[in-house]
Amino acid sequence: LQKSLRETFGADQYSRARKEVLTYMFSRPMQMALYFCTGVLGDETLFHHYALNVPFYTHFTSPIRRYADIVVHRLLSASLGARSPLKMEKEAIQKQADHCNDRKMASKRVQELSADLFFSIFVRVRP
């Protein structure tokens, strides 16, 4: 598979872009993670991370990247006693999580459409 992919990517100025688009298309069917407030969900099995096989999981990146990551950092800091608790009800946190999920889905859809367009052009011009 790897050899076939390398041949498909080629060695011209667009090879890196082709690699990124095709790699993205291969990972597309994977289920997308969703933000949620644990205080709203009663079923702790929903906190499980399937691929890592851990019962409780939270994910975040640098808080300069996304608002959801800022919220996770603040909640984690408060739970560790490094800062005061957020003065937000769990329903308000869930509402923000829902909004972040909606924006993430919209962004993913635009990314998919862009990749589809690039791929169709790639297939059309590929000898």
Domain regions of the chain by residue span = 1-30, 34-125
Enumerate residues 6+ apart whose C-beta is below 8 A from 35.
68, 97, 98, 100, 101, 104
Residue type for position 94: Q
Average model confidence (pLDDT) for the chain?
A: 83
Tell me the mean pLDDT in the region 61-73. Answer: 80
58 pLDDT higher than 90 = no
* 106 C-beta neighbours (distance < 10 Å), count: 10
Tell me the mean pLDDT in the region 100-108. Answer: 90
Least confident of 30-44, 66-80, 81-95: 30-44
39 pLDDT higher than 80 = yes
Q: What distance lies between CA 12 and its chain's CA centroid? A: 30
pLDDT at 80: 92
Rounded CA separation 49/37 (Å): 15
Q: Where are the alpha helices (DSSP H) in 47-89?
A: 67-79
pLDDT at 1: 62
